[in-house]
Amino acid sequence: MATLGIHKDFLMEFARLEKPVQKRVQETFDKFEEHRHAGLHLEKLENPRDPRIRTIRINKFMRGVVLAPESGDSFLLLKVMPHDDAIAWALKHRATVNSATQGIELRNDVALERATAGVRQLAAEGDRRLFKKVGDKDLVRLGIDADLLPLVRHLTDEAHLDALQKILPEQQYDVLAGLAAGMTPEDVWREVVAVQLEHASPSASQEVNVVPGGDLSPSPAAPDDLSAAMARSQGRIALVTGPDELMEILERPFDAWRIFLHPSQQRVAYRPSYKGPARVVGGPGTGKTVVALHRALHLARQLPAGATDESILLTTYTRDLAADLRRSLELLIPDPALRAKIRVVNVDALAHQLVREDRGAPLALVTDHKEIIARWARIARRTGIDFTDVFLDQEWRQVVLAQDLRTPEAYLKASRTGRGTALGPLKRAQIWRAVEAFTKELVLAQEWTFLQVCAEAARLLDTKGGERPYRHVVIDEAQDLHPAQWRLLRALVAPGPDDLFIAGDPYQRIYGNKVSLRSLGIPVTGRSTRLRINYRTTQEILAWSTALLTGETVDDMDEGTESLNGYRSAFHGAAPRTSGAEDKLAELAGLVDQVRDWTRAGIAPQEIGIAVRYTQLGKEIRQALEQSGMPAVVLGGGSAAGDGIRIGTMHRMKGLEFRCVAVAGVKDGTVPLRNAVTAEETDAQQHSEDLLGELSLLFVACTRAREALRVSWHGKPSPFLAAVPTE
């Protein structure tokens, strides 16, 4: 039977075609199963680098490029381009097998030959060599082939390597980028090569007849080399099982994340089973949400026959993020029956539902933080206690609720790690009285805060004799959850294989909730994986944004510290721009000009995001844009509808992404926001934590940008910008 593979470049180009042309492409390939190659009218080229690369007519102007060996029935869709470009591409390229991963690689032989000559010349000017410390043996073991060794040996610096990204075979580039970023050959083996080998099915690796670094070699022993090699090219080539699947893929070409998981993502998401809670971490845009979605799909497929709907919970921090997950799940799992096995809801809403059902009536919730602080202020006055409202609120959330302390004795003995002010027994007794007064007021008014609701929901589940509502729980944006929310999550599912799957990035913690997962009965040691390739942001934006965090130490939610080492982006673009103005009017005028330039360059308004620290500034920006004839919306609760440039607080930007992002008002006093940071004299440790939270917010906002980032301020710039180059 014919096997069809789709290269991800093919899908990307297909996505940009006009509808009628897309239709023609579909018609060309939809009967692929019935056709042997001859039936597809594949045309040979004159003097090609690789005779197996052929082209196929789509219409008068467009051609497809296909890899189709004479023997066997497999073919691979490589490109779809205007006629002349397709022919030129097909003539220059050759398909080979990577000697380490045994996956397919495509190389532009002509450009590589030219680059080798150019690099030799440049290298002659000095003796700097990028890979001086890596021996040939290691390079070869990692799949760098003999043809490329001279080029690699002459590279002088990373910029040099980056410039060759487009023409180097992709896996060999990944290996070199890893080594250039300071990874050891062993690390690179594990993260680039081994993941790919692991994924290859054992039967595929037996079938293949590989000439390392060389051609896919047809031989009687391996009649279908190409399908075996395609199977070993996870993340770049998707194998299509039939015409329906082909049509389904071509229906939504923009959502490549549904089918081209990187091997490192695939390995985590589709591991048959974890013995207990498992976790995936990674910098912004590394695909943690994508992995969480695929894990939910995997778990749904593994459910025993007869498992009830909503056996799996997919959850996250806020309602908006849950709505995004729901939308993505619809794309990933078109089958409504399978999708029904997964419930998507944010933690607080779920807690509310559980408690409401138990009580038989909705709860009155106090959600306004200002209101909560005002109550603490009243209680501090009434009890004559010498602590500020903010301190009391933090003590309640970060010690009392975090450790689920229910008696004065428990509070007296409690460890207060993470809080900066030491408290003797007398002070603790005073604070406990204030806590009692605060909770009593709530009880009398029959009111709840969300964290109390979570604690109550966990208690209800724990007292229900071990009855757990879910078989599996998958959690996204885990870094923001409070211990009371974790206790609920723990109580939702019985401890055991595949109970909890956790995705998060501690560098993006923006709600000040710190946890130790092991202390909450969620041991992830030995089941924690890190993703390193950023799929969203250019290397330039990523490097600039990461530099904001220079010198910061961030905990990893498991009593260790987190690191951003080795993160890199799959693509490049312009450096971020910065702009300081004299006053607000001038800053807004500059911002409006920038947005106009973006829209004139063809960026759709909804692909432009503007992040601000507080909503009022967002409203002023909307007004300025609208006065200049550019519609804009300020994102609120729920999702934004309609067209227009998206403006949102940095908090609201979490989970979103845009082609172009402007972060505005990044000035002293606003970023960090003065009244969001505990005074140093109130609590020095909390002061540093709050500053880190504000810095993470800026980091989150900047890393929402896919192609362009602009950061602006007026007056004195934010002190955070001292860590990065500004114009």
Ligand X SMILES: Nc1ncnc2c1ncn2[C@@H]1O[C@H](COP(=O)(O)OP(=O)(O)OP(=O)(O)O)[C@@H](O)[C@H]1O
Quote the least distance from Cβ 570 to ligand X, whole Å: 9
Q: Are 145 and 172 in contact (CB under 8 A)?
A: yes
Quote the least distance from Cβ 143 to ligand X, whole Å: 20
Q: How would you classify residue 142: left for phi > 0, otherwise alpha for psi between -120 and 50, otherwise beta?
A: alpha
Is residue 39 part of an annotated ligand binding site? no
Name residues whose C-beta falls within 8 Å of residue 148's C-beta, 6 or more positions apart in sequence: 112, 168, 169, 172
Task: For 580, list phi and psi in degrees, rounded to 5.
Answer: -105, 135
Quote the least distance from Cβ 288 to ligand X, whole Å: 4
Bridge partners for 660 per DSSP: 608, 708
Could you give the CA distance from residue 200 to residue 196 in angstroms, rounded to a whole number? 7
Task: For 54, list phi and psi in degrees, rounded to 5.
Answer: -125, 170
Quote the least distance from Cβ 643 to ligand X, whole Å: 20
Quote the least distance from Cβ 329 to ligand X, whole Å: 13
Q: How far from 37 is each of 25, 29, 41, 56, 451, CA to CA, in Å?
A: 16, 11, 7, 11, 63
> Quick one: 183 or 702, whose CB is closer to ligand X?
702
> Quick one: 180 or 292, whose CB is closer to ligand X?
292
Tokens of 279: 């976790």
> Quick one: 106 or 455, whose CB is closer to ligand X?
106
For every residue of 469-498, DSSP letters joined together read SBSEEEESSGGG--HHHHHHHHHTB-SSTT
Give the residues lining the site for ligand X (CB under 6 A).
256-257, 260-262, 265, 282, 284-290, 505, 508, 535-536, 655, 657, 703
Quote the least distance from Cβ 701 to ligand X, whole Å: 11
The order of strands in the sheet holding 577-581 is: 577-581, 705-714, 658-663, 608-612, 645-649, 632-634
Q: How far from 158 is each of 130, 131, 193, CA to CA, in Å?
A: 7, 10, 21
> Quick one: 74 or 265, whose CB is closer to ligand X?
265
> Quick one: 290 or 608, whose CB is closer to ligand X?
290
Is residue 285 part of an annotated ligand binding site? yes
Is residue 287 part of an annotated ligand binding site? yes
Quote the least distance from Cβ 331 to ligand X, whole Å: 10
Is residue 275 part of an annotated ligand binding site? no
Q: For tokens 């390995």, name the residue.
A: 267
Helix (H) or strand (E) holding 598: helix 584-600
Amino acid at 513: N
Is residue 413 part of an annotated ligand binding site? no
Is residue 289 part of an annotated ligand binding site? yes
End-to-end CA distance of the chain: 60
> Quick one: 284 or 483, whose CB is closer to ligand X?
284
- Burial label, 157 (beta-carbon count in 10 A; 0-12, 13-18, 19+): exposed
Quote the least distance from Cβ 183 to ligand X, whole Å: 20
Quote the least distance from Cβ 256 to ligand X, whole Å: 4
Quote the least distance from Cβ 287 to ligand X, whole Å: 3
Quote the least distance from Cβ 518 to ligand X, whole Å: 23
Is residue 286 part of an annotated ligand binding site? yes
Q: For tokens 């951003």, name the residue.
A: 564
Q: Are 544 and 676 in contact (CB under 8 A)?
A: no
**Strand duo 93-97 + 312-315: pairing:** unpaired
Is residue 642 part of an annotated ligand binding site? no
> Quick one: 235 or 605, whose CB is closer to ligand X?
235
Tokens of 517: 């997962």
Nearest to 474, CA basis, from 452, 504, 451:
504
Quote the least distance from Cβ 291 to ligand X, whole Å: 7
CA angle (606, 608, 614) in 5-degree steps: 105
Quote the least distance from Cβ 65 to ligand X, whole Å: 21
SS (HEC) of 354-399: HHHHHHCCCCEECCCHHHHHHHHHHHHHHHCCCCCHHHHHHHHHHH
> Quick one: 144 or 656, whose CB is closer to ligand X?
656
Annotate 242-274 with b (16+ C-beta within 10 A) or e (fewer). Answer: ebeebeebbeebebbbbbbbbbbbbbbbebeeb
DSSP state of 637: S
CA angle (357, 359, 364) in 5-degree steps: 95
> Quick one: 185 or 263, whose CB is closer to ligand X?
263
Beta-carbon neighbour count of residue 337 at 10 Å? 9
> Quick one: 453 or 533, whose CB is closer to ligand X?
533
Binding-site residue numbers for ATP are 282-289
- Annotated binding-site residue numbers: 282-289
